[in-house]
Structure 1
């Protein structure tokens, strides 16, 4: 996958596999990853992000279970031909979990709001 790039913030309370899953799903939903687009191999993406291959594999498994990608022997992992539309309940659940994780890590409401605002700004670019 040449573009868009994926990033993992190891300081984030959101687990790295979830960051990858959410970013790929967002790119698919926005159309920046078209149906049939190849994702990097598990090992390649893990090496690029400096994380364990199992972390990437888990993100890919969750994306496959949601119908966002499909993995075919010899073809790798690709965006599904007909990826599902946005799952609003899943997005809301993920945001709630991220807020709970941030609060558990001692973040105050202002820091959570700033971080969400920064993420929104970055996503708009």
Structure 2
């Protein structure tokens, strides 16, 4: 299995964010299975025509999100991140709901704000 990443240099989204999003989505969907060994930072940077710092920044964000894990000299691997991602999303949602209620928003207004935010991030 190979890691197929496409970075659109004309996109307004930063290359490290494109890389982070693609790896995250593939890991969470199972396309990249738990334990899949990712390329080295330098190797992936070379393959994609990116600076090593760009790939390192994406890997650091993915590690902070619990999507990947570095095992020292053994390399970087896809982690079992589903539970952690869902736990963090649920905590963020609970925080949002509490804040919306504190602000006096109705359930419908709070839900509409979430839908607007999801459309902005995920597209129509």
Task: Give the TM-score, by structure 2 length.
Answer: 0.67
Q: 2:81 aligns with which of 73, 76, 83?
A: 83
**Ranges of 4+ aligned residues in structure 1 off by more than 3 Å:** 85-89, 92-98
Q: Distance in 2 between matches of 1:48 and 1:4?
A: 10
Where does residue 39 of structure 1 map in the other structure?
A: 38
Q: Distance in 2 between matches of 1:51 and 1:7?
A: 11
**For the Cα contact (< 8 Å) 1:4–1:32, is it kept in 2?**
no
CA-to-partner distance for each residue in 1:41-93, whole Å, 9 max, x for gaps? 0001000000100000000000000000001111111011x21345487xx96
Return the structure number with greater relative CO, CA threshold 8 A, min gap 6. 1
Larger helix fraction of residues: 2
Where does residue 66 of structure 1 map in the other structure?
A: 65
Q: Distance in 1 between matches of 2:64 and 2:42?
A: 20
Where does residue 96 of structure 1 map in the other structure?
A: 120
Determine helix, strand or coil for the equivalent of 2:19. helix
Structure 1, unaligned runs of 5 or more: 99-115, 118-125
Larger Rg: 2
Where does residue 14 of structure 2 map in the other structure?
A: 15
Q: Distance in 2 between matches of 1:45 and 1:15?
A: 16
